[in-house]
Amino acid sequence: MNCCIECFVDPEVKSIISSSKTIGNCDFCHKQDVPVLDIDMDSIALTDLVNLFDGLLDVYTESTNLPDNYPRHKINMLKNILHDDWYIFNCDADTIHRLLVGICKERYESEPNLFNFPVGIVELSQEDYLNQFSIMRTYDWEDFLAEIKTQNRFHTDMFNTKVMDQFFEPMRKTLKKGSVFYRARICTNEKGFSPNEMGPPLAGVATAGRANSEGISRLYLADSIETTLHEIRAAAYDYVTVGTFCLHEDIEIVNFTMIDKISPFFGIDFTQQAINLKHLRRIGLEISKPLRRHDSPLDYLPSQYICDYIKSQGYDGVEYASTMYPVGFNLAVFNKAKLECVDAVVYDVQSLSYTYKRLSRPHGS
């Protein structure tokens, strides 16, 4: 049987399949004329693939062998875990099961329950292990949020920076000299702002944002004019000045759009990555979420804490997804001197388009 590169999104797995240098039809996703690997025929590529998945499968234990105090809500079928939590496959859970059984034949023969019954991670019930290797130790995100909001803002032991460090490397991204980004400001008339006026607020008067505490200046940019117009939430008939910023030099940033897409085969310990998947996903959401009109600036404290730590590690900024314009991304640069505003153009917002969903009926209706 053939599996193909289209069955996967993980670059390491796709590379192994491509190394077989065979073009054919896939028996799993049914794509035709694509790079394939025959999983019924012994080969170096298949051995490499089996070794990858054997290491990942070692993380999980069949539910009947888990400790009696193991939380029931943390067990699930292996196929569902690999579909929902890991960024490896490009297919549904049932196809993942078929792929695993086909690739890991010997493992399936010796441990069929691992594939066919709910599983869990033993270490999730071990406090000593969590304190050492979990980003949040034995706490939840809500505990961390309450701690820095109301108890200990600058020096909390809840967030394990040593563990978080290892996840920055696969999220490292180099932005090249000459790269162009955009920043928008609402203006009162069609004259707008000059390029010299398009920089960030001055230190000391800057309001709090997702990557900066109040008083600390950060340069917030976007990948496109469309993204930056959405981000400032311009209203119909507003005048908006959009500045074009160019990088003076290469910079190194942490790309949070990749935080839930880190390959398990990058080199991080499988179990350590597995127990932190939930935390990584939550951090990614917190970094990118917009504040609603009535939210408190204190809700930005967790992302400010993380971004300040990233700056202390020598990075130049952070990239994160735009929730206002989902196809775009934003960039917060710690040192505005790394870029120059080379142009400024005024736009007249002609119309807006809203999307919405109904949440509940009004009270009393």
Q: Confirm whether 62 is domain-assigned.
A: yes
Q: How far apart are CA 330 and CA 325, in angstroms?
A: 10
203 with 277, same domain?
yes
241 with 100, same domain?
no
Segment 250-269 mean pLDDT: 96
Residue whose entry in the numeric block shows the structure tokens 């400010």: 304
Q: Give the β-pairing of 239-247 and 329-333.
A: unpaired
333 with 196, same domain?
yes
Q: Above 80 in pLDDT, residue 360? A: no
CB 74 within 8 A of CB 57: no
Report residue 60 as tokens.
Answer: 């999980």
Map the chain to HEC letters: CEEEHHHECCHHHHHHHHHCCCEECCCCCCCCCEEEEECCCCCHHHHHHHHHHHHHHCCCEEHHHCCCCCCHHHCEEHHHHHHHCCCCECCCHHHHHHHHHHHCHHHHHHCHHHHHCEEECHHHHCHHHHHHHCCCCCCCHHHHHHHHHHCCCCCCCCCCHHHHHHHHHHHEEEECCCCEEEEEEEECCCCCCCHHHCCCCCCCCCCCECCECCCCCCEEEECCHHHHHHHCCCCCCCEEEEEEEEECCCEEEEEHHHCCCCCCCCCCCHHHHHHHHHHHHHHHHHHHCCCCCCCCHHHHHHHHHHHHHHHHCCCCEEEEECCCCCCCEEEEECCHHHEEEEEEEEEECCCCCCCCCCCCCCCCC
Q: Above 80 in pLDDT, residue 168? A: yes
Q: What are 102-159's pLDDT values in tens digits? A: 999 999 999 999 999 999 999 999 999 999 999 999 999 999 999 998 998 888 899 9
321 with 187, same domain?
yes
Q: Which domain holds residue 258?
A: 171-348
Q: Confirm whether 140 is domain-assigned.
A: no
111 with 176, same domain?
no
Q: Indicate the pLDDT class of residue 318, thresholds 50, 70 and 90.
A: very high
Segment 328-342 mean pLDDT: 96
Q: Confirm whether 80 is domain-assigned.
A: yes
176 with 120, same domain?
no
pLDDT in the model for residue 96: 98
Q: Confirm whether 165 is domain-assigned.
A: no
51 with 185, same domain?
no
| Higher-pLDDT residue of 351, 43 | 43
* Domain final residue, candidates 124, 158, 191: 124
Residues of the chain with pLDDT > 90: what percent? 82
239 with 297, same domain?
yes
Neighbours of 102 (CB within 10 A): 16
120 with 192, same domain?
no
Q: Confirm whether 138 is domain-assigned.
A: no
Q: Indicate the pLDDT class of residue 361, thresholds 50, 70 and 90.
A: low
Map 153-174 to HEC letters: CCCCCCCCHHHHHHHHHHHEEE
Q: Confirm whether 364 is domain-assigned.
A: no
| Higher-pLDDT residue of 352, 240 | 240
Q: Confirm whether 105 is domain-assigned.
A: yes
pLDDT in the model for residue 248: 95
Buried b (16+ CB within 10 A) or exposed e, 60-94: bbbbeebeeebeeeebbbbbebbbeebbbbbbeee
Q: Give the β-pairing of 251-255 and 317-321.
A: parallel
pLDDT in the model for residue 364: 53
Q: Confirm whether 91 is domain-assigned.
A: yes
Q: Above 70 in pLDDT, residue 230? A: yes
102 with 190, same domain?
no
Report residue 271 as tokens.
Answer: 């179990």
Q: Give the β-pairing of 239-247 and 339-348.
A: antiparallel
119 with 198, same domain?
no
Amino acid at 80: N
pTM: 0.91
Q: Indicate the pLDDT class of residue 92, thresholds 50, 70 and 90.
A: very high
> Domain tally for the chain?
2
User: Chain-wide mean pLDDT for the chain?
Assistant: 93
Q: Above 80 in pLDDT, residue 237? A: yes
189 with 74, same domain?
no
Report residue 277 as tokens.
Answer: 């998947």
